[in-house]
Amino acid sequence: MGGDEETRINEWYVPGFGPKKFRLLVGLSFYPYSVMNASYVLIGSLLAATVHYDRMLGMAVVYLLAVGVAAHALDAMGPNKPWGNLLSHRQLTWLAVGGLVPALAIGLYYALSVAPLLIPLGLGELFFLLAYNLELFGGRFHKDSWFAFSWGFLPVLAGYVVQTDSLSLASLVGGFFGLFTAFVEISASRPYKSLKRQPGGATAPVTYRLESILKGVVATVLTVAILLLVHAVYG
C-alpha cells in the first residue's frame, strides 16, 4: 500500500493511534455515520405515541448491520479502493453477506409479526443499498439526493413503521429532517475526503470548515435522538 493520501485513513473519525490495519478497519466502519444512521431509526420510533423499545433497538441493529457493515463493505469494493487493500474482494463479500443476511432476517421478522408495511420499505432500502454502493445502472443512483433519501429519509420512516405499521405527518416531517441532515453530511463529505487525500490538503482551511460541518451534523442528529429518548422515558 502506498502513502496515507491513497486511502481515507486521515479522516477525522479514524484514530491516530495503533497499527495501520487497525486504523483502516475502524475507518471502514464509518462508525459516526453508522450511528447517525441508526439514530434516524430511533427518531422515527420515538415519534410514535407508544414506543416498543425492543422493536426500536431491533430496527436500529438492522441498520447498523445493513449500512454500518454491509453497505460499507460493498463500498470498499469500488475501483477507488478508499481503504486500500486492507481486505480482499472475497473478504469484503463475506463481510457484506455477514451483515446483510441477519439484517434481512430481523427486518423480515418484524415485517411478518408486527409491521407488514416494512416490506416495501425494506425492499426499497435493499435496492438502494446495492444500487448506490455498487454503482449499478451506470451510477444513476450514486448521487447525493438518493443517498439522503435512502440513508436519512427512509430510516426515520422505518423506525416509525415498526412501531405503528403506518405513516403519519409527524413521521414524514421527521423523514425530511433525516433527508436534509443526510444531504448536508454527504455534500460536505465528498469534497472533504477528496481534500484529505491530496498532499497538503489536510491542513487547508476549507478542510477544517468541512470537518466542522461533518462533526456538527452528526452531533445534531445524535442530540435530537437523545432528546426524544429522554422525553419518552422521563417526559
Q: What is the pLDDT of residue 5?
A: 55
Q: What is the pLDDT of residue 195?
A: 84
Instruction: Give yes or no for residue 4 having a pLDDT over 70.
Output: no
Integer angstrom CA distances of residue 68 from 6, 39, 62, 137, 195: 22, 12, 9, 23, 24
Q: Per-residue DSSP letters for 145-176?
A: HHHHIIIIIHHHHHHHHHHHSS--HHHHHHHH
d(CA 204, CA 79) in angstroms, rounded, equals 27
Model pLDDT for residues 132-159, shown as the tens digit of each residue? 999 999 889 999 999 999 999 999 999 9
| pLDDT mean over 8-37 | 91
| pLDDT mean over 31-54 | 97
Worst-scoring range by mean pLDDT, 74-83, 103-112, 172-181? Answer: 74-83
Residue that has been written with the C-alpha cell 481515507 in this structure:
8
Tally: H helices and E strands in the chain = 10, 0
Instruction: Tell me if 234 sits within 8 A of 48, measured CB to CB.
Output: no
Instruction: Tell me if 170 sits within 8 A of 48, measured CB to CB.
Output: no
Model pLDDT for residues 192-223, shown as the tens digit of each residue? 888 877 777 777 889 999 999 999 999 999 99
Spans of all domains in the chain: 4-234
Percentage, residues of the chain above pLDDT 70 = 97
Looking at residue 124, the DSSP 8-state letter turns out to be: H
Helix, coil or strand: residue 62? helix
Instruction: Give yes or no for residue 2 having a pLDDT over 50.
Output: no
Worst-scoring range by mean pLDDT, 56-65, 109-118, 128-137? Answer: 128-137
Looking at residue 139, the DSSP 8-state letter turns out to be: G
Q: Which CATH class is domain 4-234?
A: mainly alpha
Instruction: Give yes or no for residue 233 having a pLDDT over 90.
Output: yes
Q: What is the pLDDT of residue 36?
A: 97
Residue that has been written with the C-alpha cell 469484503 in this structure:
92
d(CA 45, CA 36) in angstroms, rounded, equals 14
pLDDT top residue among 193 and 187: 187
d(CA 118, CA 112) in angstroms, rounded, equals 9
